[in-house]
Amino acid sequence: MLEQSNSESDLLHSEQYKKNLKAISKLFITKKFNPAYDLCENYIKTFEEIEKKNRIIIPSDLLQIYLKIIEQVKPETDNWAILNKFYKDVNEIPSKILTTCALIEVKKQNFEISKKNIKKWLREMPEEEKEKLRGKEQPNFKFYEMLIEIYVLHVLAPLEEYNSSIDFLEGEDYLTMDRKKLICDKVIKMETLKSQEKLKAKNTKSNQKSPNKNLFSSFAETTSTSPSINDIITSKDIDDNDKKNREVVKKPKSKQKKVSNKHQNRYDIGNAVIDGSYDSFWKVFARFLMDKAPILIIIILCIVIKRNPEIIRGTIFERILKKLYETIMLIININ
């Protein structure tokens, strides 16, 4: 067993490992995913051959890039199942690998299995990992922060477990208060947006169920689609249906008789206008006052002046009225 461990350690620190990892990374960065996948697969087999009875721990750098390559080449693959090949239990998975796997799986909306595994890892976290988090050792603490954000914002929030996510943050031991508050604010914002979307969808659904809600618009649509009188007359044979056509044409004429009457008294209350509606008393009265205003003003002035002649005495109005009176009397005398 010791000999096997030494073989594994030698392989990890060998120049060949660094060279192969660099080659795989270069292929991945240049988006040559298939060659990168083949090279990665072959290289992982060398680690598997070291120990066949017990599960072998693949180097985290190699396994991380392997998961990213699989996401591109075989997106349907279950990454949690891949990790299960290399680790006996979830709590053995490094936070770096767990974060990468969780991020890939939530993109595929595999929320439940991701929730289960992350929750178990947090609950059964090794004491060694806890010590690193208390001391905020890097890169462990950075990957832990990322894992918490994935768990709260990309797993619990999409499952609409908003209260559970806030309760979890309140009981979390390693993040700073500012970081917790930032994540909590995002959760509240996501909950608000989700509520607004649900309300909007509900209103849309209710509007679709009641299409006749706007009675006036539905009436307008019905009347606009109905055939006109001219269409009815031209679409039928006048010789064969003479009697029916006379009745159809006769009704609208009698309906608009008052409208087309040029000598109609437009101050009659209740007379129909073009669109078939009726003017109210006050509307008719106001129209009458506007039309007869000059005559009414002259009559009122005459009444006021006759009762109180001193109002215009010595003014230009008195001279105008005198001239007007003299002119009228002159005309009468001439006749």
Nearest to 103 by CA among 139, 66, 73, 146: 146
pLDDT at 7: 45
267/318: higher pLDDT: 318
Distance CA 11, CA 14 (A): 5
Least confident of 50-64, 126-140, 162-176, 215-229: 215-229
Q: What is the pLDDT of residue 316?
A: 77
Cα distance between residue 315 and residue 321, in whole Å: 10
pLDDT reported for residue 50: 60
**Measuring CA to CA, which residue among 106, 147, 100 is closest to residue 125?**
147
pLDDT of residue 18: 82
Q: What is the pLDDT of residues 153-210, one digit of tens each?
A: 999 999 999 999 999 998 888 898 999 999 999 999 999 998 898 888 888 877 776 5
Decide which of 53 and 296 is more confident.
296
Nearest CA-CA partner of 66 in 30, 39, 95: 39
Q: Which of the pair, 295 or 232, is modelled with greater confidence?
A: 295
Looking at 99-103, 170-174, 226-230, 327-331, which range is the least confident one? 226-230
pLDDT tens column, 138-148: 888 899 999 99
Cα(24)–Cα(65) distance, integer angstroms: 8
**Which run of H or E residues covers position 218?**
helix 215-225
Average pLDDT over residues 57-61: 78
For a pLDDT cut of 90, what percent of the chain falls above it? 18
